[in-house]
Amino acid sequence: MRRKRLLRAAGAALLILGGLTAAGTVPATANDSATTAKAPASEGLLTAMRHDFGLTREQAEARLASERAATKLDPEARRTAGSAYGGSWYDADSGRLTVAVTDAASPATRAALRDAGATVRTVRHSARELDAAKARIDRLKAPSGVSSWHVDPQAGTVVVDVVRGRSADNDVQRFLANARAAGPVTVETVSKAAGTLAAGTVGGDPYYTGNVRCSIGFSVYGGFVTAGHCGQPSAAVYGWDRSYVGNFQGSSFPDNDYAWVNVGSGWWTVPVVLGWGTVSDQLVRGSNVAPPGTSICRSGSTTHWHCGTVLALNETVNYSQGAVRQLTKTNVCAEGGDSGGSFISGDQAQGVTSGGWGNCSSGGETWFQPINEILNRYGLTLHTA
């Protein structure tokens, strides 16, 4: 049964699995994908980008190439700008990384950034000042009418999202007054409050714990990472076929939303994200952080494969269970059961699905917990191709 499932699902979830007798079938999937690893992108990924972004094949290839260049340049630009750094983002229109700097940036610094390929913009507040303002807001207790808040380097403020129809609430007004006292703040309206994306037990992929179904994130050596709200430490985990996989070795929620599960009992890990037949299964080659504006895709057990754009980094989301910090905001849709699933940009792992609002019929927004924070917290090593 396990072998048939592997073949039908083209790899059976983000963590390729199977009995020891099926070991010969799994490496073939990874090796076949590896033959196209040097290409600009898989045919399936190009097709998905053409569909989701309305691009031609040539435009999709050009965007992926420019996003890779921007992602590579981003940490170098931060170091070059130093204390004058005001944030950065990918501009899809120009195909370049935009780096914001304050008036303190010297002409030599600005010239170095331009020579490296970045567009330079002058802003009033440094990233350090905006991060400090957000940290002060993080210490406030947010009412349910406040959905989230994040630093927006393009606006040069901390953006606070308020649920439509709740802005006049007294507790919301008090929160906003205190937030404005913490630093520069812009208030925006969102349709709904964010919620986590776990689901009750139903038939399907890919893992279960108790009566909850969630999605595997990324393979690490010894296990996989996923969302913290999916299970508590020591809780048993069962795969799509209900066979025992392992246990939650660490889990944190709220404040954070990450966890990791050890793998054994005939299951093993490979550096693959399932494309669900929409795209080819994607190899994972690293975890370079994609800046705001870059394209990103998500794989999950309910709604499978969907793509969109990174909207913001380091956002605090006010779930009903409590605030979760340092999440990345996207306009990729998700639904119940997608929690814990993979966010990937090109071949670079980005994070695990935390929560959101909306659905994949009408759209919405989804947040993920960055992968590098999870790896650092638990001392894990990402399994890469």
Catalytic residue at 345? no
Residue 231 near residue 212, CB atoms below 8 Å: yes
Task: Considering the chain, tell me which residue range(s) the CATH 2.40.10.10 domain(s) occupy.
Answer: 196-378
- Indicate the pTM of the whole model: 0.81
pLDDT for 198 equals 63
pLDDT reported for residue 213: 92
CB neighbours of 346 closer than 8 A, spacing ≥ 6? 41, 64, 67, 68
Residue 58: exposed, middle, or buried by beta-carbon count in 10 A (0-12, 13-18, 19+)?
exposed
State which fold the 127-193 domain adopts. GMP Synthetase; Chain A, domain 3 (3.30.300)
- Residue 192's pLDDT is 87
Of 91, 205, 257, 347, the active-site residue reads 257
Summarize pLDDT for 136-147 with one digit per residue, the tens.
Answer: 999 999 999 999
CATH number of 45-122: 3.30.300.50
Q: What is the pLDDT of residues 316-364, one digit of tens each?
A: 999 999 999 999 999 999 999 999 999 999 999 999 999 999 999 999 9
Q: pLDDT tens digit string along 244-275?
A: 999 999 999 999 999 999 998 888 888 999 88
In order of 16, 113, 182, 197, 258, the CA distances from 240 in angstroms are 11, 49, 47, 18, 21
Query: What is the average pLDDT score of the chain?
Result: 87
Q: What is the pLDDT at residue 199?
A: 53
Active-site residue 32, yes or no? Answer: no
- What number is the average pLDDT over the span 210-239? 94
Question: Which regions of the chain carry the CATH code 3.30.300.50?
Answer: 45-122, 127-193
More confident: 131 or 281: 131
Please give the CATH superfamily to which domain 196-378 belongs.
Trypsin-like serine proteases (2.40.10.10)
Q: Is 152 a catalytic residue?
A: no
Q: Which residues pair with 150 in a beta bridge?
A: 159
pLDDT, greater one: 268 or 292: 292
Asked if the model's pLDDT at residue 284 lies above 90, the reply is: yes
Confidence of residue 2 (pLDDT cuts 50, 70, 90): very low
Does the structure show a pLDDT above 50 at 21?
no
Q: Are strands 119-122 and 96-101 parallel, antiparallel or unpaired?
A: parallel
Catalytic hit among 295, 301, 339, 354: 339
In single-letter form, the type of residue at position 124 comes to R
User: Would you state the pLDDT for residue 52?
Assistant: 81
pLDDT bucket at 123, cuts 50 / 70 / 90: very high
Q: Which of 118, 133, 135, 132 is nearest to 81 (CA)?
A: 118
pLDDT value for 34: 34
User: Taking the alpha carbons of 140, 146, 150, 155 in that order, is the dihedral positive or negative?
Assistant: negative
Contact 116, 310 (CB under 8 A): no
What is the C-alpha R_g of the chain?
21
Pick from 117, 336, 337, 374: which is nearest to 216 by CA? 337
Per-residue pLDDT, 204: 32
Given 125, 150, 229, 306, the catalytic residue: 229
Strand partners for 329: 312, 367
Question: Percent of the chain, pLDDT > 90?
Answer: 75
Is the pLDDT at 57 greater than 70? The verdict is yes
DSSP 8-class letter at 255:
B
Alpha-carbon distance values, 125 to 80, 177, 224, 231, 239 (Å): 17, 20, 39, 40, 48
pLDDT digits (tens, 9 = 90+) for 164-200: 999 999 999 999 999 999 999 999 999 888 888 765 4
- Distance linking the first and last C-alpha atoms of the chain: 27
Residue 194: predicted pLDDT? 87
